[in-house]
Amino acid sequence: MTQSIIQDISIQLGNALIKNHLRIALAESCTGGLVCQHLTNIPGSSAWFDRGFITYSNEAKIELLKVDQTTLLKFGAVSQEVASEMALGALKESHAQIALSITGIAGPSGGSTEKPVGKVFFAIAQHNKIIFNASKVFPGSRENIRESSCLFALNQVLALTLNSQV
């Protein structure tokens, strides 16, 4: 069920990006490329999907997305600050006009009281600034958290694109 919903949203997003002459880049951590997989499952996605960065480790975030090591030390990889720097980095290190980032704790372990399993941060960047950020706590298994993160993220980019806010 979720797969077909994500596919429908991905198709709509692709059409909206084409209409607005935009290409998207992704920076994924806890979803491990799942959003990229959903987008590239759409035939013709090369017209609007530029690239994806799977930056699971802190080193990858620093090296590929230019996330500041100080930000990682101060706030942790699972934070709004890092999500924002990931989105800005994906935008700068790509040929895209819009970038989405996701970082969180998919579980089943690794959570804390402050950042429980299921806590995920999102950011969308355009024109070298953050135009959207949010955090959510998703229930369920690791798979459910990752799929819910994909669905939420794609819905946010689609809404911004359809409302001509990008």
User: Mind giving me the DSSP string for 106-135?
Assistant: -SSS---SSS-TTEEEEEEEETTEEEEEEE
The CATH number of the domain where 66 resides is what? 3.90.950.20
Domains held by the chain: number = 1
Q: What is the predicted pLDDT for the residue at 166?
A: 52
What is the domain range of residue 91?
2-162
pLDDT tens by residue, 106-125: 999 998 999 999 999 999 99
Whether residue 60 has pLDDT greater than 80: yes
116: preceding bond cis by omega (within 30 degrees):
no
Q: What is the predicted pLDDT for the residue at 165?
A: 56
How many helices (H) and strands (E) the chain has is answered by 6, 5
pTM to 2 decimals? Answer: 0.96
The stretch 142-146 carries a mean pLDDT of 97
How many Å apart are CA 110 and CA 128, to the nearest integer? 32
